[in-house]
Amino acid sequence: MAFRVPYYSFWYSFGRAVLEATLVVIGVNHRTSRVETRERFWVGDSRLYEVLRQLHGAAGIDEVVVLATCNRTEFILWASDLAAACAEVQAFLVREHGLSSEEWGGFYRLVGDQALTHIFRVTSSLDSMVVGEPEITGQVKSAWSKAQQEGATGRFLDAVFQKALSVSKRVRNETAIGAAAVSVPYAAVELAKRIFGSLKGRKVLVLGAGKMSELSARYLVSNGASAVWVTNRTYAHAVDLAGKLGGCAVPFEERWQHLADADIVLSSTGCPHVVISKEDAERIHGARQGRPVFLIDIAVPRDIDPAVRDVPGVFLYDIDDLEQVVEHNRSQRQAAAAEAEKVVAREAQSFSSKLAAERVVPTITALHAHLEQVRKEEIERYIREAGPLSPEEREALDALTAQMVRRISSELARELKQVPERPEQDQLTEALRRLFHLPRPQPALNTND
């Protein structure tokens, strides 16, 4: 499969001081990196909470969500200091994954509106290997939930992910992208059909008891597979999945006999190392006496040594190979995706504008309070110098000066909210703060539709 040139803009200028916290996405995915690169930086569930703890509260990072699937690893940040936040993620990848400077150049860094649109596209399955597949929405929701459990999110990322899931639901309801979807499990079944013709009567061994294993196995069974064995390091999980599939659970240490009996082996264990080596495949092939065996590796990191492809009669396909299977439905999915892209673009623009307006509210509130304090002080000073006022005169003076303060505040608010570009809005906001010595309050998000 030809390697695709990354379509993201990788560089962001750090020359301008960032006046406000901002949304950042740093990551690799199936469009920018091969599977052998993606699996190096994959963050499994066993390490996820520790990674969240390391990054949350690190220099420049206020909030963080880590999204790790078979096709992507992304660090989604609400950063108070953009340069420092990127440096912290880079340092983490160097420390924990041996990242090189050349590899860091292959990570995309998306900021502000680009990051927001990207998150909406990912959640709506527009950035998936198989456009329209339904699994990614659940994976995004799960990543957000785990970050919340760790206390790594706050009002900003919570608002972003709540909106992203809402946009995904709208995309599903208003376009045909769901009807045109071809999922990774579906693609795996299509590959199996190419090898065997019909799957009727074929025996299946499932290594791993996760969601992708379940979905893929269900497709195999619905297409004729007759016997399903499930094995997992945690036997209770294998029993649970086998019950759902109408199959049999196998203790992990007894898997070798069933590996030799199975026509199709579906592997997605989440192990950090291979569970089937080339030598294992040679032993399986010998036990099968020349009968072909189809290995589907949908795990990242990969479960099966790529060298297995050199063993005669053993057909191995990994997650990157599955992309080739879905070409037959591309035109239908592209038409649906085009409509979905319009929905996402409108929603991202609307949400970004709302955030831009919300961002200046604390400054306007602080300015109004400052002007109100000045107004009251000046009235009192005037009375001390000019003498007492009658109740009617005091009321009239209060009404006049209060109206002036409201007029100034509302005109400044309107101007700041209507500035189309964030850099200009940031500059004007900072100018107001400096001129009137205003504090730098945290934004109070109000992103409800």
Buried residues in 123-157 as b, exposed as e (16+ CB within 10 A): bbbbbbbbbbbbbbbebbeebbebbeebebbbebb
Residues with Cβ < 8 Å from 44, sequence gap 6 or more?
68, 270, 272
The answer to whether the beta carbons of residues 88 and 59 sit under 8 Å apart is: yes
- How far CA 365 is from CA of 123, 370, 378, in Å, comes to 35, 9, 20
Residue of 70, 86, 248, 271 marked active site: 70
**Distance from C-alpha of 150 to C-alpha of 28, rounded to nearest angstrom:** 23
Q: Which two tokens stand for residue 31?
A: 């469009």
Dmax over Cα atoms in the chain, in whole Å?
111
Q: Is 70 a catalytic residue?
A: yes
Q: Tell how far CA 242 is from the center of its chain.
A: 30
Q: Which two tokens stand for residue 287?
A: 């036990």
Q: Amino acid identity of 101?
A: S
Catalytic residue list: 70
